[in-house]
């Protein structure tokens, strides 16, 4: 499952909606037991949430967008499929969110590619459920430091931290993803799925039971003048870089 | 405390019952402050749960057996004694369960010996309380991967993962266990015991308050036709290997 | 913020009270965004709790003292300031408690300096909330072993364990602390503070909601004859060492 939303695979509302529908189709088609997430945009796994969905819109739009972000995370995180990430480009924030939901993460060995949750640099805060899965993956202390500083890690550091499971030469990432998938496919589905669910249920339930409150929290936070100003400054900086 | 249930120290109902009684005697005898768990069966620490107790029996037997498994874990995990594991052979599933309850784990440096929770390979699932102690020992991410894939680790990898605390040449494992015991005996019992209890109470309580539900869950799972078939296939494979 | 309570920066009731007042002043002065904790007593970051406050006094005194210890921890742990520890000397028990509340820990590379929670060696037990922050920092397994054995770690081991974030030559510790502070100051305060609070709220709330019970527990424990005897023996041993 290659995703492609040029130029940077940002998670627009439309992309999120289509992604979840595609995933659901795969889940319902019993001939599929696993999926490899990778990008068709050179150098970018996913640039993360689309700031244009979070800037200058109305509260109803923010609420709809955040619900779609939650939905993406819940569907991927709790998927019955084996989900392998072949991270073939930069993977900040929402890109890292997708990678964190996977059962196994392989990253291309290119020091230009970085992965992490850099929300605090942009003046925003990662949601608690994303924080929970980050803590589960790299431990509480490493997560606390990385989240406060908005750190992005090149492949070697991400591997050392446990943020990815394996780093391979860039031209071997897809063959490696397939061989990892073969290894996971050798396990009986029912025991693998029950085990996955047992490991993830508490973290997922934590969001499910507070889902509406989390949406309201996001809407009121993102609607603040100060946050809108921060986003504006950041978007203008991006614009200048491109220009 | 050497256990011996030839040929592979499998945890039969009889073995579990006798083990718990022996442990209780040691606990009540105030001349004992610690115990070393090791095996008298060459090459096998413990082969784990006895599949014959889980195949082709009636629900009452499954319930009795599972209660005995829980009891073994609770007694070892909450023991006031210092419990050191001298893992001198393979230690899958139930063997790993016993090792995980200990205060310190030493493993013989023999690449043929492996340790881990390989339940999912057999088509079954480790119980949540065993999963909890596994997560406490090696962290959430490593546990999620190892449990889904049913991974067994040779000594060097188990050490790197933190699944064991020390790896020593096979002929030194018992002297090493004694010197570790001496180190732990130097700590005042009352502060060590209070500290151990503080560290383990939440995980143990998690089972204690759901104990009956966990038994019912096991009985209904193991009674399924599909699971009985899986066990049958596995037992026949074992049989062929021996034959 | 250099603290100085000669000869060993022990956390007397008076010291704790003054420390919290000083910290509160810094928090309320909007020109300060961060603070570096370090010691002005050669070779000692802090010797920890003052045993004289816990020996031969009445229950009301023990209760007042323990409340002040809780207060120090809560204020530092939840501080809106960036708190960096420059650990320039030994740091057992209460010294380690202060270091654990910080956002970043730098330790001077001197093998004579050690850090850890050695309560069980003295016959007492670290409180549950200190245990929680210890587990968050170095993980459950490492914390369980270190707390049961009352282990103190030299800089290289503390670094490997994740108990400190960085080890530097002793004469560079203050310049290093300033450059780390500069790095943290580059992050917008509001997103950094919200992130810190999200990471620490559960652990802090765990104490806040049981604060009175924790005080009663401490008073009844420390008032026991057996504990007072242990402290007496320990104090006499210290006395002989000095003499």
Domains and CATH numbers, chain B: 2-242 (3.90.226.10)
CB atoms within 10 A of CB C186: 11
* C-alpha torsion sign, points C213, C214, C216, C221: positive
Would you say C108 and C155 are in contact if contact means Cβ atoms under 8 Å apart? Answer: yes
Contact (CB, 8 A) for C213 and C110: no
Active site residue C49: yes
* Average pLDDT of every residue of chain A: 93
Mean pLDDT of A184-206: 96
Distance CA A150, CA A116 (A): 7
Q: Which of B18-22, B100-104, B233-237, C58-62 has the lowest mean pLDDT?
A: B233-237
Residue B5 has pLDDT above 60, yes or no: no
Answer with the residue of higher pLDDT: B10 or C149.
C149
Instruction: Using a cut of 0.90, tell me whether the model's pTM lies above it.
Output: yes
> Terminus-to-terminus CA distance in chain A, angstroms?
32
pLDDT in tens, C100-140: 999 999 999 999 999 999 999 888 999 999 999 999 999 99
Give catalytic residues of B, as residue numbers.
49, 94, 118-119
Which pLDDT band, with edges at 50, 70 and 90, does B1 fall under? Answer: low
What's the Cα-to-Cα distance from B93 to each of A68, B121, B151, C163, rounded to whole Å? 40, 11, 10, 32
Complex prediction ipTM = 0.94
What distance in Å separates the CA atoms of residue A212 and residue C194, rounded to the nearest whole number?
20
How confident is the model at residue B30, as a pLDDT? 87
User: In the prediction, which pLDDT does B4 show?
Assistant: 56
Q: At residue A79, does pLDDT exceed 60? A: yes
CB burial of B100-129 (b: ≥16 within 10 Å; e: otherwise) equals: bbbbbbbbbbbeebbbbbbbbbbbbbbbbb
Model confidence at B184, pLDDT cuts 50, 70, 90, reads very high
Residues forming a β-bridge with A92: A116
Q: How much is the mean pLDDT over chain B?
A: 93
Res. A86: pLDDT tops 80: yes
pLDDT at B164 over 60: yes
Could you give the CA distance from residue A141 to residue B225 in angstroms, rounded to a whole number? 45
Tens digits of residue pLDDT in C52-110? 999 999 999 999 999 999 999 999 999 999 999 999 999 999 999 999 999 999 999 99
Average pLDDT over residues B169-190: 95
Contact between A70 and A211 under an 8 Å Cβ cutoff? The reply is yes
Asked if B191's CB is within 8 angstroms of C149's CB, the reply is no
Q: Give A139's contacts in chain B (Cβ within 8 Å).
A: 139
Worst-scoring range by mean pLDDT, A185-189, B4-8, C149-153?
Answer: B4-8
Chains contacting chain C through 3 or more C-beta pairs under 8 A:
A, B
Q: Give the C-alpha separation, A93 to A130, whole Å.
A: 10
User: Contact at 8 Å (CB) between B156 and B75?
Assistant: no
CA of A209: how far to CAs of A76, A204, A213, A233, B140, in Å?
Answer: 18, 9, 9, 35, 22
Residue of chain A nearest B138, judged by CA positions: A139
Measured distance CA(C133)–CA(C143) in Å, rounded: 10
Neighbours of A106 (CB within 10 A): 26
Per-residue pLDDT tens digits for C227-241: 999 889 888 888 887
> Mean per-residue pLDDT for A58-73?
98
pLDDT confidence of residue C123:
87
Q: Residue C3 above 60 pLDDT? A: no
Best residue in A139, A183, A195 for a mutation probing chain B (most B CBs within 10 Å): A195
The pLDDT mean for chain C works out to 93
Candidates A121, A129, A140, A226, partner chain C, best to mutate (most C CBs within 10 A): A140
**Which residue from C35, C85, C34, C74 is spatially nearest to C189, judged by alpha carbons?**
C34
List the structure tokens of A16. 């999120």
């Amino acid at each position: 499952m290659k995703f492609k939303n040029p130029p940077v695979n940002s998670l627009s509302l439309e992309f999120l909606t289509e992604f979840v529908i595609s995933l659901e189709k795969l889940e319902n088609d019993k001939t599929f037991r696993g999926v490899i997430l990778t990008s068709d945009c050179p150098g970018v796994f996913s640039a993360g949430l689309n700031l244009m969905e979070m800037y200058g819109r109305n509260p109803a739009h923010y609420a709809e967008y955040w619900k779609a972000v939650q939905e993406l995370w819940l569907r991927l995180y709790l998927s019955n499929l084996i989900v392998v990430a072949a991270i073939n480009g930069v993977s900040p924030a929402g890109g890292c969110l997708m990678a964190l939901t996977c059962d196994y993460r392989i990253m291309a060995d290119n020091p230009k590619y970085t992965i992490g949750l850099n929300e605090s640099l942009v003046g925003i805060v990662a949601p608690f459920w994303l924080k929970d899965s980050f803590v589960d993956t790299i431990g509480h202390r490493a997560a606390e430091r990385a989240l406060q500083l908005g750190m992005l890690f090149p492949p070697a550091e991400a591997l050392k931290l446990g943020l990815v499971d394996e780093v391979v030469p860039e031209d071997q990432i897809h063959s490696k993803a397939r061989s990892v998938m073969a290894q996971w496919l050798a396990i009986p589905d029912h025991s693998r799925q029950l085990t996955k669910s047992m490991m993830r249920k508490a973290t997922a339930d934590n969001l499910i039971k507070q889902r509406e409150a989390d949406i309201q929290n996001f809407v009121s936070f993102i609607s603040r003048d100060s946050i809108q100003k921060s986003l504006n400054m950041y978007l203008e900086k991006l614009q200048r870089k491109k220009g």
